[in-house]
Amino acid sequence: MKSLIVDKKFNNKKLSTFLFYSFPNLSINSFYKALRKKDLRINNVKVNSDVVLHTSDCISVYISDNALYHNFNLDIVYQDDNILLINKPSNIEVTGNNSLTSHIHLAYSSSNFKPMPCHRLDRNTTGMVLFAKNEESLNILLDKFKNREIEKHYLALVYGIPPKYYDKLEAYLFKDNKKSIVYISNRPKSGYKKIITSYTILQKNDNNSCLLDVQIETGRTHQIRAHLAYIGYPIIGDGKYGLNDINKKFGARTQRLCNYKIKFNFLTDSKHLNYLNGKEFAIDCNWTK
């Protein structure tokens, strides 16, 4: 049995919407079979229809793991006694139910300390996620990310070609939690937080697209996707901030955004992790092949 609490963004949404989001591997047939068998409960009351949920409802799910969870092998980029680098696929959260972290905890169930993520990526952003394999390493790495002593480089395929080879963009971002979307402004506003996004053009393509290396100094929700769309260069495949006609033209069902490179640039003592200083790890993004 799996127990879930309804987040406020799913208030007044259907049970099916919540469960398909929480368990991307769940099929429509399995969902309706669970309703017929009364294998779903809301606040400990069995339900047999696709009812509307409310914030803080407790959902009990009596469906087999095979029907609920992704079946994939962890793509390990690098690991040692202190860190674990995983190449995250699309359509899975870093934390939460049926997340990358929960799969890693299953894989390392015999470890005294189950690996914990040091940063996050959006659900549909692919690429490297850094996990710490002990508590001391976790505390050090969280501090290094906070002080920008670890670089994350994103590869983004955008529609359009910016006029500048390199640019450092500054704007302001507002997060609408109810709609699960962010808005960008070029001037300060109440509730908006400053964002800084830098890009370098890596490759220009004949189909009016280009590959960008993107870095962010501020890690806000959907920052890269929203900021690039705001300046007129949406990420191809982005269903929220992109252009549907363009996404269809390129046959892109998921956003072409990947955390493809991580660099360790420690400026202060890192104790037992000093051996990482100067190291760089990079991967190929599947959609560039």
DSSP states of 148-188: T-EEEEEEEEEES--SSSEEEEEEEEEEETTTTEEEEESS-
Please name every residue paired with 59 in a beta bridge, in sequence order, or none if there are none: 4, 42
Q: What is the pLDDT of residue 71?
A: 63
> Which residue range forms the structural domain that includes residue 251?
154-259
The enclosing domain of 9 has a CATH number of 3.10.290.10
Specify the amino acid at residue 148. Answer: R
Say if 287 falls within a structural domain. no
What is the three-class DSSP state of 282?
A: strand
Helices 15-22 and 28-36 cross at an angle (nearest 10°) of 130
Q: How many CB atoms lie within 10 A of CB 240?
A: 16
Say if 102 falls within a structural domain. no
Say if 220 falls within a structural domain. yes
Number of domains in the chain: 2
DSSP classification of residue 10: G
Selected catalytic residue, list 122, 167, 245, 284 = 122
Q: What is the pLDDT of residue 70?
A: 64
| H/E stretch holding 31 | helix 28-36
Examine the residue annotation and report whether 122 is marked as an active-site residue of this protein: yes
The enclosing domain of 192 has a CATH number of 3.30.2350.10
- pLDDT (tens digit per residue) in 46-86: 999 999 999 999 999 999 877 777 666 899 999 999 999 99
Last residue of a domain, one of 52, 68, 84: 68
Q: What is the pLDDT of residue 72?
A: 66
Say if 176 falls within a structural domain. yes
Say if 196 falls within a structural domain. yes
Say if 273 falls within a structural domain. no
Say if 137 falls within a structural domain. no
Q: What is the pLDDT of residue 288?
A: 67
- Residues 6 or more apart whose Cβ sits within 8 Å of residue 121: 88, 94, 127, 129, 259
Q: What is the pLDDT of residue 64?
A: 85
Q: What is the pLDDT of residue 33?
A: 93
| Residue 57: alpha-carbon gap to chain centroid | 25
Which parts of the chain have pLDDT scores under 70?
70-72, 288-289
Break the chain down into helix, strand, coil percent, rounded to 5.
25, 30, 45
